[in-house]
Amino acid sequence: MTFRIGVDVGGTFTDFLVADDDGDALLYKTSTTPDNPADGFFRGLNKAADDHGILLEEFLAQVETIVHGTTITTNAVITGNGAATGFLTTDGFRDVLNMRRGLKERYFEKYAPPPPLVPRHLIRTVRERVTVEGIATTPLVEADVRAAAEYFKQQRVEAVAVSYLWSFRNPAHEQKTYEILSAELPGVYLSLSSEVLPQIRVYERHSTTVLNAYVGPVLTRYLERLEHELAGSGFDGTLLIMQSNGGVMSPKVAQRFASNTLLSGPAGAPQAGIYFGAGHHFRDLITVDMGGTSFDVALIKDGVPSVTQEGVIAEHRLASPILDIHTVGAGGGSIASVDTGGLLAVGPASAGAEPGAACYGRGGSAATVTDADLVLGFLDADSFEGGEIEVDANAAHEAIRTHVAKPLNLDLVAAANGVYEVVNANMAAALNVVSVQRGYDPREFVLVVAGGAGPIHAAPIARELQIPLILIPRGSSVFCAAGMLISDLKHDYVRTYAQDIERADLEVIQRLFNEMANSGGQTLREEGIAEDKISVSYSADLRYVGQFNEVEVTAGEFWDPSGGLDQLVTQFHARHDALYGYAMAGTPVEVINLRVAARGATEKPRLTGASSAAEPAKFLPAKRRQVFFDGNFVDTPIYDGLAMHAGDHISGPAIVAQPTTTIVVPPDYDLACDKFENYLLYPGSEDVDELCARLAHGE
């Protein structure tokens, strides 16, 4: 027996999906250990080994692959605990990094800029200059580099970022700087803009290169320790690290491009959504993942998740390609409070893993969404998280009463329902951001719901946006871990080629595309990917002449220069119209960046249909309890989700309970167990087969 494991370290819980070669999967959750995430990581592995009745060493010897998603770099930036970082840039431009764009992101607010990743005294300049054409008009003054290295040595920096003007046109000066710094500062992490982000826009390039340096030593130390401990525990399989672009990479590549793990925590969800939606031929999906700390939303159109190059972390720009995931502070641990104006707010502050919700009995006293769900009867105090967490219902009641009911002069239940409705409204607004504001109609999409708390809140969110069908995977509580396990290796490359479409040189474009494709193929081969598993896709950033922002359009997997750029221009007009409500056919268009995504396919579990339950009529509720629906407590049947099989169907009001997930079926909704033993939640007035047929893409 061999195993593949997906591990997702979240803000509150660390999730595990352990799949064997028979296609069976086991789910585990452990509390995240913020001080040392590896502790929670190994605690989950020990749980899996215990369940199989063997020692950890025996278990890990049978594990082929571990795909690991970590928030360690994200947390380092948010908390300001990254590496002491120095920055080298072109003489005369010392303050560009900390001046940022020179614009306020929030025009009508007074606020201070974020603390700089590199304080001014650690920014040194070097005499050198490359023109926009890539011509070195001022040679690199190597003495400046050596002087900076000596200064950085005195300041005990752990990392140095190097970003010269127009270095993406000619990286020779950065490459020579790397050689000098490697000799002068052995053991110091080095980050070059010509490797990390060789594209136009100086602040974005500076910021991304510095972020890479700032988190590089943190991630390197963590991965080296993790690999050492795994090897010492008997693991000799493949360890892969989740990226923010939705792909995975080897630890070696991760250490070199550490910034690619920033904001990668929720990146597994869209991949899982595509996988589970494929069983019904659903290709237009909105995935939501409600964990303990946050609520993550992503849109998938035609089987492809949206990607952006405008990431922001702790108010610093990250311009590498990342999945366009919108995150709000709306998790099970989100804290409910009443402000001085008497308004109820939920989040973004969270009780986190420690102390957690008041009902966890770990010293937390704030009122959270989980406490409200418990008061309303959605959760069972006697079997929370499969009985592994002892829940104190009285503590939940007291927290809601103290922090919400009394300040608002409401009774306990009305206060808890207020928390429930406010957090639902916050989450519906988040869905609106990735759909309506991106030019998509949510009524044409399937809502794929994940997270331990997500299925409790799914129906009100779908009702608000008129989303017709909700798909809840049986393993929704470890959704991101599942997505990580089925993700391909993926590496993104970019080259700036700013030129009017009419004057673009197709031979130059072809050469740049080939260079990037060859680099991607080489990296994937070094990671052990066979040639027949490697694929490449091409795209370009276009804009109307005179515009500031670009729109990325795809050229597909086969770039054919003989057809010119007309197809890209046609796609650009259509996408611009969808995004901004207008297009200007006939207006000159220019290309700014060329992009290549190199993908190495990994083995994935197959979705196999299960036979329908032999006697679905015998499927009866395990028990009943009072649950709050539509202003009143209703005697509600509670079903054991693990006892449901393909073909089983129930009508609301009902609760479907699993050890790590609870599904709330309101009175006007029905729930069906599909042929893959996942759940379909939909308005009771609809026919589920007709709904699925209408929302599926025919093949």
Question: What digits encode the pLDDT tens for the residues 120-176?
Answer: 999 999 999 999 999 999 999 999 999 999 999 999 999 999 999 999 999 999 999
Contact 209, 106 (CB under 8 A): no
Q: What is the CA radius of gyration of the chain?
A: 26
Per-domain residue ranges of the chain: 3-76+221-261, 83-208, 334-423, 489-600
Angle in degrees, CA 486, 490, 494, rounded to 5: 155
Q: Is the pLDDT of residue 573 over 90?
A: yes
352: region left, alpha or beta (phi > 0 left; psi from -120 to 50 alpha): left
pTM of the predicted structure, to 2 decimals: 0.84
Structure tokens at 303: 């089987």
604 or 47: which leads in pLDDT: 47
- The model's confidence at residue 280, banded by pLDDT at 50, 70 and 90, is very high
Rounded to whole angstroms, how far apart are CA atoms 596 and 582? Answer: 28
List Cβ neighbours of 456 (8 Å cut-off, separation of 6 or more).
373, 378, 379, 662, 663, 664
Q: Which residue has the higher pLDDT, 105 or 15?
A: 15
> Distances in Å between the alpha carbon of 623 and those of 335, 370, 380, 617, 658?
31, 22, 11, 17, 13
Highest mean pLDDT out of 173-187, 368-382, 530-544, 590-604: 173-187
Whether 608 has a pLDDT exceeding 60, the answer reads: no
What pLDDT score does 314 carry? 84
Per-residue pLDDT of 188-220, as tens digits, reads 999 999 999 999 999 999 999 999 999 999 999
Exposed (0-12), middle (13-18) or buried (19+): which is 228, by Cβ within 10 Å?
Answer: exposed
Burial of 531 (0-12, 13-18, 19+ CB in 10 A): exposed
Query: Hey, what are 301's tokens?
Result: 């159109």
For 379-421, the pLDDT digits (tens) are 887 766 555 567 788 889 999 999 999 999 999 999 999 999 9
CATH number of 489-600: 3.30.1490
In the predicted model, what is the mean pLDDT of residues 7-22?
79
**In the 8-state DSSP scheme, what is residue 589?**
E
pLDDT of residue 2: 87
CA dist., res. 415 & res. 407, Å (int) = 10
* Tokens linked to 595: 């992009």
Helices in 534-631 by DSSP H: which ranges?
Answer: 566-580
pLDDT of residue 11: 67
The tokens describing 409, both together, are 């002069």
In whole angstroms, what is the distance from residue 576 CA to residue 580 CA?
6
Length of the chain: 699
- pLDDT at residue 609 tops 60: no
The percentage of the chain sitting over the pLDDT mark of 90, rounded to a whole number, equals: 58
Contacts of 107 (CB under 8 A, 6+ apart): none
Angle at 664 between CA 662 and CA 670, to 5 degrees: 125
Residue closest to 275 by CA, chosen among 289, 258, 287: 287
Strands (E) in 58-128, as ranges, are 63-69, 85-90, 123-126
Which ranges of 233-365 does DSSP label H, i.e. alpha helix? 251-256, 268-278
Structural class in CATH, domain 3-76+221-261: alpha beta
How far apart, in Å, are the Cα atoms of 75 and each of 29, 72, 132, 681, 692? 20, 5, 36, 35, 40
Distance from C-alpha of 695 to C-alpha of 90, rounded to nearest angstrom: 54
CA-CA-CA-CA torsion sign (461, 463, 468, 472)? positive
- Residue 699: pLDDT above 50? no
What average pLDDT does this structure show over 637-642?
90
Instruction: Compute the C-alpha angle 249/250/251, nearest 5°.
Output: 120
